[in-house]
Structure 1
Amino acid sequence: MVGYMGSGKTTVGRIVANHLNVNFLDLDDYIEEGENMSIASIFETKGEIYFRKKEIEYLEKVFSIDDSFVLSLGGGTPCFGKNMELINEKTANSFYLNVGINELTDRLKKEKNHRPMISHLEDDKLTEFIGMHLFERSFFYNQAHHKIKSNNNTPTEIAEIIVNKLV
């Protein structure tokens, strides 16, 4: 699952994994466990460059696992190094959860304090930031094998679309 923060990668990924009866992995959780600190703390104490390097290492480690699983990536993961190339090489089914700017803004306003990339922004600057960021990242996201456009669908509806593409 790739897409911008707040696009529902973790929520939808859990539903898909449950439906397919496979493990669910969230790359951010995997990094936090491996580094023994939160993503926010990593950004704050070690910086984004350190985080992005670790992110690449942990992504490669996840793909060395033999079992089937559904993986939710961080919003920036596909946009650094050769991550998107690796993702598409290691799986035949990458999914871009494409959510519109206004919907993302509404979602992220509610959880801004838990998101290091946007926690410093005033609400009136959030839409512009998301729009600019999404524009920069869309090149990478659009390399996913499948694009799932969210039209205010519920996570369950999006998961059903994904599962139907897999069977």
Structure 2
Amino acid sequence: MIFLIGFMGSGKTTVAQQLSEKLALPLLEMDEEIERQEGTSIKDIFSRKGEGYFRQKETELLQSIKADSVVSTGGGVVEREDNREALHMGKVIYLQASWETIDSRLSNDTTRPLWKGNEQDKKEKFQGRLALYERAADLVVNVDDKSPEVITDEIIRRLNG
């Protein structure tokens, strides 16, 4: 089991897809699975039921994973201690991106409910999660200025090394 963690925009979904293909493992994109289960978008879940409800769904999904797979987690999955513990049923890989990389990648994104508001609030959320990502990770891979292919190959090399 491989879990990719990192802030929104760090490339978890894209890298998970590539890892899934190269390692011939099933792919689970947690946000997409929650949307499927709830029959609505993450944005709608946040606006109608709140972040707490979404985080609970995230925890339930994480704890239900049994099959060996590549899992792209939501950016806030590390905020709950239960989730950080559950992640350790596999290898936890932190896709580490600088604030500049995240801000550049998400500058025009309107689909992420937590990527709205003022710059300072977003930056505080980013900085507040950094230590959680680092503590949860078995492997840290910096993604700044790297293509998804290079990141994927680095992860495979380091997992096999």
TM-score normalised over the length of structure 1: 0.88
Paired residues of 1:101 and 1:130 also in contact (CA < 8 A): no
Question: Paired residue for 1:25?
Answer: 28
Unaligned regions of 5+ residues in structure 1, if any? none
Partner letter of residue 160 of structure 1? D
Shift of 1:10: 0.3
Question: Paired residue for 1:136?
Answer: 128
Paired residues of 1:4 and 1:134 also in contact (CA < 8 A): yes
- Post-superposition Cα deviations, 1:52-90, rounded to whole Å, max 9, x if no partner, equal 11111111112xx23x210000000111242112102x1
Q: Distance in 2 between the 1:7 and 1:77 partners?
A: 14
Partner letter of residue 164 of structure 1? R
Partner letter of residue 50 of structure 1? Y
What SS does the aligned partner of 2:107 have?
helix
Identity across the alignment (%): 31
- Post-superposition Cα deviations, 1:96-119, rounded to whole Å, max 9, x if no partner, equal 0000001110001121x1110123
Paired residues of 1:7 and 1:104 also in contact (CA < 8 A): yes
TM-score normalised over the length of structure 2: 0.92
Q: Distance in 2 between the 1:59 and 1:11 partners?
A: 19
> How many residues end up aligned between the 2 structures?
156
For residue 52 of structure 1, the aligned residue among 46, 55, 78 is: 55
Q: Does 1:5 align with 2:22?
A: no
- Post-superposition Cα deviations, 1:6-57, rounded to whole Å, max 9, x if no partner, equal 0000001111111001111101111111111111110011111111111111
Q: Distance in 2 between the 1:166 and 1:17 partners?
A: 14
Relative to structure 2, which stretch is displaced further, 147-156 or 3-12? 147-156
Unaligned regions of 5+ residues in structure 2, if any? none
Question: Paired residue for 2:146?
Answer: 153
For residue 97 of structure 1, the aligned residue among 95, 117, 120 is: 95
